[in-house]
Amino acid sequence: MNPMPTYYGEPPIVQIGEIGVTSTMVNTPSGQIPLRGSQWTVVDQWSVTERTPQWAIVVAIVGFCVIFLFSLLFLLAKEQVYTGTVTVTVMNGPAAYVARIPVVNQAQVQHVYNQVNYVRSLALI
Protein backbone atom coordinates (compact mmCIF):
# COMPACT_ATOMS: atom_id res chain seq x y z
CA MET A 1 0.00 0.00 0.00
CA ASN A 2 1.30 3.44 -0.92
CA PRO A 3 1.79 5.91 1.92
CA MET A 4 -0.46 8.96 1.88
CA PRO A 5 1.22 11.96 0.26
CA THR A 6 1.93 15.14 2.18
CA TYR A 7 -0.44 18.02 1.42
CA TYR A 8 1.56 20.95 2.83
CA GLY A 9 -1.20 22.28 5.07
CA GLU A 10 -4.21 21.85 2.78
CA PRO A 11 -6.61 19.00 3.51
CA PRO A 12 -7.41 16.70 0.56
CA ILE A 13 -10.85 17.11 -1.00
CA VAL A 14 -10.73 14.07 -3.28
CA GLN A 15 -8.42 11.06 -3.50
CA ILE A 16 -8.36 9.36 -6.92
CA GLY A 17 -5.95 6.45 -6.71
CA GLU A 18 -2.61 7.98 -5.78
CA ILE A 19 -3.75 11.45 -6.91
CA GLY A 20 -4.79 13.73 -4.07
CA VAL A 21 -6.71 16.92 -4.84
CA THR A 22 -6.78 19.94 -2.52
CA SER A 23 -8.57 23.24 -3.09
CA THR A 24 -5.62 24.63 -5.11
CA MET A 25 -3.25 21.78 -6.04
CA VAL A 26 -3.21 18.27 -7.48
CA ASN A 27 -0.71 16.20 -5.51
CA THR A 28 0.84 13.24 -7.31
CA PRO A 29 3.75 10.98 -6.38
CA SER A 30 5.84 12.84 -8.96
CA GLY A 31 5.01 16.34 -7.70
CA GLN A 32 2.34 19.01 -7.54
CA ILE A 33 0.22 20.34 -10.40
CA PRO A 34 -1.97 23.46 -10.09
CA LEU A 35 -5.66 22.55 -9.95
CA ARG A 36 -6.92 25.66 -11.75
CA GLY A 37 -6.90 25.03 -15.49
CA SER A 38 -6.01 21.35 -15.19
CA GLN A 39 -7.41 18.95 -17.78
CA TRP A 40 -8.64 15.50 -16.81
CA THR A 41 -9.26 12.44 -18.97
CA VAL A 42 -10.63 9.06 -17.93
CA VAL A 43 -10.49 5.79 -19.88
CA ASP A 44 -11.74 2.45 -18.60
CA GLN A 45 -10.38 -0.80 -20.00
CA TRP A 46 -11.95 -4.19 -19.28
CA SER A 47 -10.92 -7.78 -19.82
CA VAL A 48 -13.06 -10.87 -19.36
CA THR A 49 -11.66 -14.26 -18.41
CA GLU A 50 -13.39 -17.56 -17.87
CA ARG A 51 -12.51 -19.86 -15.01
CA THR A 52 -13.88 -22.85 -13.16
CA PRO A 53 -15.67 -21.63 -10.02
CA GLN A 54 -14.48 -22.85 -6.63
CA TRP A 55 -17.80 -24.49 -5.81
CA ALA A 56 -17.45 -26.70 -8.93
CA ILE A 57 -13.98 -27.82 -7.89
CA VAL A 58 -15.16 -28.68 -4.37
CA VAL A 59 -18.20 -30.60 -5.66
CA ALA A 60 -16.03 -32.50 -8.17
CA ILE A 61 -13.56 -33.52 -5.44
CA VAL A 62 -16.27 -34.54 -2.97
CA GLY A 63 -18.30 -36.28 -5.67
CA PHE A 64 -15.24 -38.11 -6.97
CA CYS A 65 -15.56 -40.59 -4.12
CA VAL A 66 -19.27 -41.20 -4.82
CA ILE A 67 -19.89 -40.97 -8.57
CA PHE A 68 -16.69 -40.77 -10.58
CA LEU A 69 -17.82 -39.67 -14.07
CA PHE A 70 -20.72 -37.49 -12.97
CA SER A 71 -18.55 -35.47 -10.61
CA LEU A 72 -16.12 -34.60 -13.41
CA LEU A 73 -18.94 -32.83 -15.28
CA PHE A 74 -18.89 -30.11 -12.62
CA LEU A 75 -15.43 -29.12 -13.87
CA LEU A 76 -17.08 -28.00 -17.14
CA ALA A 77 -18.87 -25.19 -15.30
CA LYS A 78 -17.38 -21.78 -16.12
CA GLU A 79 -17.88 -18.28 -14.78
CA GLN A 80 -16.86 -15.01 -16.34
CA VAL A 81 -14.59 -12.78 -14.28
CA TYR A 82 -14.37 -9.11 -15.17
CA THR A 83 -11.21 -7.20 -14.32
CA GLY A 84 -10.03 -3.85 -15.49
CA THR A 85 -8.32 -0.58 -14.86
CA VAL A 86 -9.43 3.00 -15.04
CA THR A 87 -6.72 5.30 -16.38
CA VAL A 88 -6.96 8.86 -15.04
CA THR A 89 -4.73 11.48 -16.66
CA VAL A 90 -4.27 14.99 -15.27
CA MET A 91 -2.44 17.66 -17.29
CA ASN A 92 -1.67 21.33 -16.75
CA GLY A 93 0.86 22.90 -19.08
CA PRO A 94 3.96 20.71 -19.33
CA ALA A 95 3.09 18.76 -16.16
CA ALA A 96 1.14 15.52 -16.50
CA TYR A 97 0.46 12.43 -14.43
CA VAL A 98 -1.25 9.12 -15.24
CA ALA A 99 -2.84 6.95 -12.54
CA ARG A 100 -4.08 3.43 -13.20
CA ILE A 101 -6.75 2.31 -10.76
CA PRO A 102 -7.74 -1.38 -10.65
CA VAL A 103 -11.49 -2.06 -10.66
CA VAL A 104 -13.62 -5.20 -10.48
CA ASN A 105 -17.13 -3.90 -11.13
CA GLN A 106 -19.03 -1.13 -12.87
CA ALA A 107 -19.85 0.65 -9.58
CA GLN A 108 -16.15 1.28 -8.95
CA VAL A 109 -15.74 2.65 -12.48
CA GLN A 110 -18.70 4.99 -12.01
CA HIS A 111 -17.26 6.18 -8.69
CA VAL A 112 -13.98 7.17 -10.38
CA TYR A 113 -15.87 8.95 -13.19
CA ASN A 114 -17.93 10.86 -10.59
CA GLN A 115 -14.79 11.89 -8.69
CA VAL A 116 -13.10 13.13 -11.87
CA ASN A 117 -16.21 15.07 -12.92
CA TYR A 118 -16.26 16.74 -9.51
CA VAL A 119 -12.57 17.67 -9.80
CA ARG A 120 -13.17 19.00 -13.34
CA SER A 121 -15.75 21.36 -11.90
CA LEU A 122 -13.26 22.49 -9.23
CA ALA A 123 -10.60 23.12 -11.90
CA LEU A 124 -12.89 25.64 -13.62
CA ILE A 125 -13.25 27.82 -10.50
Is the pLDDT assigned to residue 69 strictly greater than 80?
A: no
Measured CA to CA, the distance from residue 104 to residue 89 in angstroms comes to 20
Measured CA to CA, the distance from residue 26 to residue 22 in angstroms comes to 6
| pTM of structure | 0.72
pLDDT digits (tens, 9 = 90+) for 83-113: 899 999 999 989 999 999 999 888 999 999 9
Q: What angle do CA 51, 57, 62 make, to 5 degrees?
A: 170
